[in-house]
Chains A and B, each alone.
Chain A
Amino acid sequence: MTMDLIASPQLLFSALVLGAGYALVGLGLNLVYGTMRLLNVGHGDLVMLGAYVAFWCFALTGLPPPLAAPLAAALGVLLAEALHRGLLHRLLGAGAERIEANSLLVFFGLSIIVQNLAALAFTASPRALRTLDDVVHVAGVAMTESRIVILLVALAVCGGVLIGLRATVWGLAIKAVIDNGRAAAVVGVDVPRVRRLALWAGFAIAGLAGALLAMVEQIGPFMGFPYTIAAFVVIILGGLGRLGGGVVAGLLLGFVQVYGVALTAPTFSSMLLYGTFVAVLLLRPQGLARAARIRS
């Protein structure tokens, strides 16, 4: 019976969807951390805000979440810019190690503030979207439309960013800043502008991911933290600035969680996520620091 379960294409599909979502969320954090060394523990809260954008767009105007996703991304850009002007220029003046340590506590504070503002504005009770839940059968696998959309959009965005980083001037500049900010500045890359662009992109991707995930997750002010943890697993496992590695790591985490739950019980879902996170950090105790140091 267990073998049937493991071999079931249904489970494979679930793991792919979850993993693609994680890869997308992790991609955003990778851009932000890679270029600015900002450990944004509030990254998951951007996912939460994106989910609320999708919820309210649908509840008020009937706009389906995939169409609300660009709005959620735009909100991400706005927040990135506000943050950049308000706080980050102060933090970014210090050296890399200081930035990491300070940014963590600052973002943790921001995360708490955003979560509680959301709880004040939208109440703490979770909500759910019921849309695009028609079932489509593809090769004998029952898929809801929403999950197909999540999988396709997540893969398209990850693929698009991956290609954009190799094929455009801005993309190459971002890669250069991730690899070595000082050297990038020497060869004429406008580092502050590139960082800002990466911050915009990272926040936008997180908001977009939230709007998509709103179709399958419970929406609540405190839903973000598991995504923050997943994003850290993705970038620590996948490697700093290695977006391809991040996609693989995201999928891997999705598989661990979906197959782990299938073999045990749904209540183990959170333990699998946090357990993977703890295991990844214990196996790579230097986190991203060594990778960053070797490159810079």
Chain B
Amino acid sequence: MTPRAGIAAGAALALAGAVPWLVGPYGLTIALNAAMWVALTVSWSILGGTAAYISLGHVAFYGLGAYVVVTSWQVLPLVVAVPLGGLVAGAFALTIGWPVLRVRGPYFVILTLGIAELVKYAVLNVEAALGASSRLLFGVPDNRTLYLATLGLAVLAIIVAALVRRSRLGAGLVAVREDEVTAETIGVPIGRYKVFAFALSAVIPGMVGGLMALRSAYFEPLQVFNPVISFTIVTMAVVGGAADARGPILGALLLVVVSELLWANAPQGYMIALGVLLIGFVVFAPGGITGALARPRP
């Protein structure tokens, strides 16, 4: 990082940290949304951006984290429960990673989508067996606390993703994206790398899910495991440009703005806008905004 970029990042962080004291309650909910989507999308890019293994099932990790926090509510303190949610999500990714990451390309994409639905219905069945169709949480932390925690996770995600990109692991994952068979042939331990990156990209979404369960103070499996969350993550990453470290941040912030403009009045309009953006970028600018800026058209 150049000194100038360092100063800019420090200033942005200071500003983001001061947000609760600068804006009103509505501004705070937007900031919370922004922090949440940055944390999710940047975490997703740890595998999706480097190796281009596009997971359309990240909501499973988010939902599992939320489920851990909700089921351990008033049993475990939150400083334990939220990280535990992240660990459970990571452990789940690690467990399913070996078989799942053998599936390549577009089949990986639909497989992750199917797994997330499977997890959703599994949790629904468990909840039905327990006789709990939805749960209410009383005495949750206020939005200011949740925002600062989520912002912390977003910063952590950015740091982890940057470290991965600079490491041997990141170079191996990029090699997987460019040519998986060749990468394997020249001795990149692609299996281990992919599984590790998959697990790493699941931990923070698990914790974010836990915090968001506290935010809504309400838990309903269909809501927490809604595939729209995975779809939004992928669209944000594609719009920003997942191959570039800054892309997921840019895409997330941009779409949070679009969401604020549309979501309240026209939730379906927002989903349609997401679909249009996804198609438009895949067809016309597959590198996303950062890709288009880095390589201007001849």
Contact = CB atoms under 8 A, between A and B. Distances in A.
Interface in A73-115: 87, 90-91, 97, 100-106, 108-113, 115
B107 A274 contact: no
B107 A110 contact: no
B263 interface: no
A268 B109 CA distance: 24
A109 B278 contact: yes
B283 A90 contact: yes
A281 interface: yes
A144 interface: no
Interface in B26-64: 54, 56
Contacts of B115: 274, 278
A108 B278 contact: yes
Contacts of B56: 108
Contact of B106 (A100, A115, A116, A119): A100
Chain B: interface size category: 35 or more
Interface string A211-253: 0000000000000010001001000000000000000000000
B102 interface: yes
A274 B114 contact: yes
A168 B198 CA distance: 49
29 contacts: A87-B283, A97-B105, A100-B105, A101-B105, A101-B106, A102-B282, A102-B283, A103-B106, A104-B106, A104-B110, A105-B234, A105-B238, A105-B278, A106-B279, A108-B56, A109-B282, A113-B272, A113-B276, A113-B279, A119-B268, A229-B114, A281-B110, A282-B111, A285-B102, A285-B104, A286-B103, A287-B103, A287-B105, A289-B105
Interface of A: 39, 41, 87, 90-91, 97, 100-106, 108-113, 115-117, 119-120, 225, 229, 232, 267-268, 270-271, 274-275, 277-278, 281-282, 285-289
Question: What are the 9 tightest A-B residue pairs by CB atom distance, in nearest-first order?
Answer: A287-B107, A113-B275, A109-B278, A274-B118, A109-B279, A112-B275, A109-B275, A116-B268, A116-B271
